[in-house]
Amino acid sequence: MRQTFRTTVGIIALVCVLTPLLSTPGMISPSGLSLIDTQIQSSSGTGIFVKTKLDFADPEQMKNFPQKIGEWHSTSYDWSGVKQTLGADLVLSRAYRSPNYSSPVFFVIVQGSNLSSFHPPVVCYPALGYEIEEEGKVKIPVANASWAKGPWRSEKEGLLFRGELSAKKLVVVKRGEDGEITERRVALYYFVKDERMSLPKEVTMVRVSALAPLSLSGSPQAVLEPVKKLAADSFPEMFEVKPKEKMVAEMLVSEHGVLGSAVIAVLVLAPVGYIIFPFVRRRRKEGEVE
């Protein structure tokens, strides 16, 4: 009975030693690993895992978010009042222009930990006097996305990045006192959240929008193209593939040589020795009796 207990304890100790040694640092502490989804709290089934390239809660990092993305050039807006109204931790607002499109495309990042005051566009636009004319989802192809295809996730795990991003689409209108439409907008948005938590403490919303024609003859679909283009072009500025990592045991050997190997040997042999020591002692006693 005593030996069974000793063996069980030794095996548990060995597992506790081997697990971190055969894991990568990212497996032990997957910092920066986030889920992009079209819903704040529950999963939509279309989410994808990414490695965050920047800290959305860090004002200094966000201040350095590129003013120029490809052919897009931007102008920044001061949304400190909106930040205070929303109870957000950070708000970044830019208007990007491209020589390929006549109208600007508005880019907004909102990051907050107070989810009760974190209003998604489907709530925020009506609160600002807009009517939701159309609601749905769109797929945004992200060109040259080889950076997002790495060995850090397998096909079995799912939620892989396959070269496109799923986003919510809204077409909203604002009417004057006479009931006539005075403004129409097309907006695409998605959320970034920590995938390790069922109820994330911090959520980031990325929204890209543009003004659409007021007349029925002018289709909002024509405005959708530049909005999708900026959403796709800005995506690699925020996310990246997690680099391939060595196991902790490999890192100990490569960085510390003989000392690292000795540490591994001690960690592994200690629980093994704890298990087999009674057998060795019993064999030695039997040899002395003979």
Task: Give pLDDT tens digits for 5-14.
Answer: 667 766 787 7
List the end-to-end C-alpha distance of the chain, in Å, as a whole number. 27
Q: Which of 120, 118, 225, 215 is nearest to 173 (CA)?
A: 215
Please state, in angstroms and rounded to a whole number, the distance separating the CA atoms of residues 98 and 101: 6
Question: Of 279 and 15, which is predicted with more confidence?
Answer: 15
What the block records as the tokens of 3 is: 């030996």
**Average pLDDT over the chain, rounded to an integer:** 77
pLDDT bin (cut points 50, 70, 90) of residue 74 is: very high
Please state, in angstroms and rounded to a whole number, the distance separating the CA atoms of residues 10 and 7: 5
Task: Give pLDDT tens digits for 198-208.
Answer: 556 678 899 99
Please state, in angstroms and rounded to a whole number, the distance separating the CA atoms of residues 48 and 197: 15
Whole-number CA gyration radius for the chain:
27
Task: Give pLDDT tens digits for 232-266.
Answer: 999 988 887 555 556 767 777 777 788 878 777 77
Q: Which of 272, 290, 280, 281 is nearest to 17 (CA)?
A: 272
Which segments of the chain does DSSP mark as H helices, in order? 2-21, 25-28, 59-63, 80-86, 121-127, 221-238, 248-289
Q: What is the pLDDT of residue 115?
A: 65
**Residue 80: which residues within 8 A CB-CB, separation 6 or more?**
91
What residues pair up with 185 in beta bridges, in sequence order? 172, 211
Greatest Cα pair distance, the chain, in angstroms, is: 110
**Residue 290: which residues within 8 A CB-CB, separation 6 or more?**
none
Domain ranges of the chain: 2-22+246-276, 30-240
Q: Which of 234, 284, 205 is nearest to 66 (CA)?
A: 234
